[in-house]
Amino acid sequence: KVKSQLEEKEGKTFDVFTAVEFKTQVVAGTNYFIKVHVGNDEFMHLRVFESLPHENKPLSLHSYQRSKAKHDELAYF
């Protein structure tokens, strides 16, 4: 659901976009930290926010880190 948001921020499209790991953090909603394979040996770490159900807002890409490798630890950021 956030692929198009990332593609817009990066100014390119991703043929490969596969989540391989995630962690959650409960705040006033939920932060998802997701390691995504974007092709070749390239990975990105995404921070996606899901608001509380009563707010009825879509998932939003809060921030991301590029140039990650498969073995890089997925950490809160």
pLDDT at 53 over 90: no
Q: What number is the average pLDDT over the span 2-28?
A: 94
CB 36 within 8 A of CB 20: yes
Q: Count how many Cα atoms sit within 13 Å of the Cα of residue 36 in the half-sphere of its side chain.
A: 23
CB 72 within 8 A of CB 62: no
Sheet of 18-27: strand order equals 18-27, 29-39, 42-50, 60-68
pTM above 0.85, yes or no: yes
Q: What percent of the chain has pLDDT over 90?
A: 88
For the chain, the domains span 1-68
pLDDT band at 1 (very low <50, low <70, confident <90, very high): confident
